[in-house]
Amino acid sequence: MDKSIFTTNAALTPALGYSTMIGLGLFSLALAYIVRLYLVRNTHDFIIADRRIGFGFGVGSVIAVWTWAMAVMMSSAMTYQWGLSGLFWFVVPNGIAVMAMVPFARILRRNMPEGYTISEFIALRFQQSKVATGIVTVTMVFGIILEILINLKGTSVVVSTVFSIDWRVATIVGIVCVLAYSYFGGLWTSVMTGTLNTLMITVPAAIVVVAVYDRIPGGAEAVFSAVGAADQRNLSVLRPDAAAGFGITLAFGLLAATVADQTFWQKVWAIKSRDVSRTFLWAGALFYPIPICLGMLGLVGIGYGLVPSDFGGDIAAVGPYIVSHIGLPLTLILLYVLVILAACYSTIDGASAALSSIVAVDIVKRYFPGTSESKLFVITKLSVLAGGVIATVIVLAGIDFTTLVLTTYALKTSVLLPLVFAILWPRTNTIGFVGGIVLAILIGMPIYQFVGELSGTLAIVAISGLTVIVAGLLKPQAFDIASLKDANGATSAPTAGE
């Protein structure tokens, strides 16, 4: 297959790039205005949507927040790097991670129907332990900041590559577009724009991927033959090196990314109680086709024998490079950019909405319980801006955020099993919960850094889980999860209609 098919498209000007970014932002802003007008009156509406999010918005918005800009690109990149085994290990744990929320969501929604945040649950579960609650709150905040900055960075890279825009300007334009509409309607805005973004991710993805294959002489048959000729293992899903190389580590990381993430817990308490379980089931199952579809671009990269230096050295760029250089009509290239922008915007606004719930419930109402509703509403809205500004500063400063990625990964993976035990196992006690997280970080992270990702991840998960079990057996607690219903009155959460 002849690589000379890939050429630069001169029509992709910076002005077109700005128009696409700002256009999507303005469209979302118009929707946010409707939301603000009809659905948001106080902090309760802003952070929990009055617990009235229905099945349709639930499914659409969960898919949208789970489809990161990087996920759109990484599905192609993993296929490009490992063949179909890469796609298999990237895709399968992704859907499982969303569906894994179902049992935990069901238990907490049933027993803590008026909840807002997962830190709030930890406070009630461990007798208001400041250490346990503090660790979980910090983990959630770090996770959210990371979600925002990774999506921001990913988007700025793609937009700057496709439209030759300075990546710093692309970063600022992107964050201003998202924060402008997120500020107004909180969770309702995030849910509605996110749902629409799911449409903008799915249909264009299908059309663009088929158009790429349509453009290739010989189509899918030619790509299939070239991929097999390059290495027959590319057409198998059973490569053990893909599992060991990234698959198993990714699987644990993804589980932690849902179960230990306030973005998802906020939705657990905001979706109508009768729809919570089936929403996460549908979202997980319906998410699958998105990376499967986009992963097929990775096969094109293998088929043409592209090397990373062809597209700037970062394999995440293989999908954007193919789409923008294979000679597709401008409209289709813009559709693909829209897929990435939609994924980026929806994840950032979902994370911002989650941050607002943490600030309102776990920080302001916990430490400053006398704060008036009007003041709380303003602080909650400003927190949406604060998260975006912090993430933007980190991206623009050019700071290597490896440390933040590693810290967040360590915290989230360490929190995963203790949190699961706290929900499912009545004997879990505060010492086991806190000790499990601390020991997992102290022992597991050095293993992660010096021995390897797989050994480190397994060590973190094992240490955190075993510590909880040992502590629970030595000094068992007899926690009755149904008691959370009685404790709800003690929660210093914002109330509707104040």
Helix (H, G, I), strand (E, B) or coil at 271: strand
Task: Choose between 156 and 202: whose C-beta lies nearer to other proteins.
Answer: 202
Query: Taking the CA of residue 492 as centre, how many other CA atoms within 13 Å lie in the half-sphere pointing to its CB?
Result: 18
- Give the rounded distance of the alpha carbon of 59 from its chain centre: 15
One of 276, 322, 410, 463 touching other proteins (CB under 8 A): 276
CA distance 9 to 16: 12
Among residue numbers 68 through 87, which ones bind other proteins (CB under 8 A)?
83-84, 87
Query: Taking the CA of residue 55 as centre, how many other CA atoms within 13 Å lie in the half-sphere pointing to its CB?
Result: 6
Q: Is 224 in the site for other proteins (CB under 8 A)?
A: yes
Q: Is 462 in the site for other proteins (CB under 8 A)?
A: no
Q: Is 299 in the site for other proteins (CB under 8 A)?
A: yes
**CB-based contacts of 28: which residues, under 8 Å, 6+ apart?**
177, 178, 181, 189, 193, 196, 345, 349
Task: Choose between 115 and 174: whose C-beta lies nearer to other proteins.
Answer: 115
Q: Is 469 in the site for other proteins (CB under 8 A)?
A: no
CA distance 171 to 151: 10
Work out the number of other CB atoms within 10 angstroms of the CB of residue 458: 17
Q: Is 426 in the site for other proteins (CB under 8 A)?
A: no
Work out the number of other CB atoms within 10 angstroms of the CB of residue 308: 17
One of 12, 70, 146, 209 touching other proteins (CB under 8 A): 209
One of 36, 44, 51, 267 touching other proteins (CB under 8 A): 51
One of 99, 230, 439, 487 touching other proteins (CB under 8 A): 99
Among residue numbers 380 through 399, which ones bind other proteins (CB under 8 A)?
none
Q: Is 110 in the site for other proteins (CB under 8 A)?
A: yes
Task: Choose between 18 and 27: whose C-beta lies nearer to other proteins.
Answer: 27
Q: Is 418 in the site for other proteins (CB under 8 A)?
A: no
Long-range contacts of 228-233 (CB under 8 A, 24+ apart): 230/302, 230/303, 230/305, 231/83, 233/83, 233/85
Could you write out the DSSP letters of every residue in 21-71?
HHHHHHHHHHHHHHHHHHH--SHHHHHHGGG-B-HHHHHHHHHHHHS-HHH
Residue 39 Cβ vs other proteins, minimum distance, rounded to whole Å: 5
341 residue type, one letter: L
Residue 102 Cβ vs other proteins, minimum distance, rounded to whole Å: 6
The interface region with other proteins, picked from 290-298, 318-326, 393-401, 456-464 by CB under 8 A, is 290-298
Which of 197, 203, 165 is closest to 67 using CA atoms? Answer: 197
Task: Choose between 292 and 466: whose C-beta lies nearer to other proteins.
Answer: 292
- For the chain, the distance separating the N- and C-terminal CA atoms, rounded to the nearest angstrom, is 66
- DSSP secondary structure code for residue 244 in this structure: I
Q: Is 214 in the site for other proteins (CB under 8 A)?
A: yes
Among residue numbers 114 through 133, which ones bind other proteins (CB under 8 A)?
none
Q: Is 54 in the site for other proteins (CB under 8 A)?
A: yes
Residue 462 Cβ vs other proteins, minimum distance, rounded to whole Å: 24
Q: Is 33 in the site for other proteins (CB under 8 A)?
A: no
One of 19, 219, 327, 490 touching other proteins (CB under 8 A): 219
Residue 251 Cβ vs other proteins, minimum distance, rounded to whole Å: 12
Residue 192 Cβ vs other proteins, minimum distance, rounded to whole Å: 7
Helix (H, G, I), strand (E, B) or coil at 371: coil
Q: Is 230 in the site for other proteins (CB under 8 A)?
A: no
Do 148 and 388 meet the contact criterion of CB atoms below 8 Å apart?
A: yes
Residue 277 Cβ vs other proteins, minimum distance, rounded to whole Å: 6
Total residues binding other proteins (CB under 8 A): 77
One of 11, 131, 199, 424 touching other proteins (CB under 8 A): 199
Question: Residue written as tokens 């899918």?
Answer: 220
Task: Choose between 102 and 390: whose C-beta lies nearer to other proteins.
Answer: 102
Among residue numbers 176 through 195, which ones bind other proteins (CB under 8 A)?
188, 192, 195
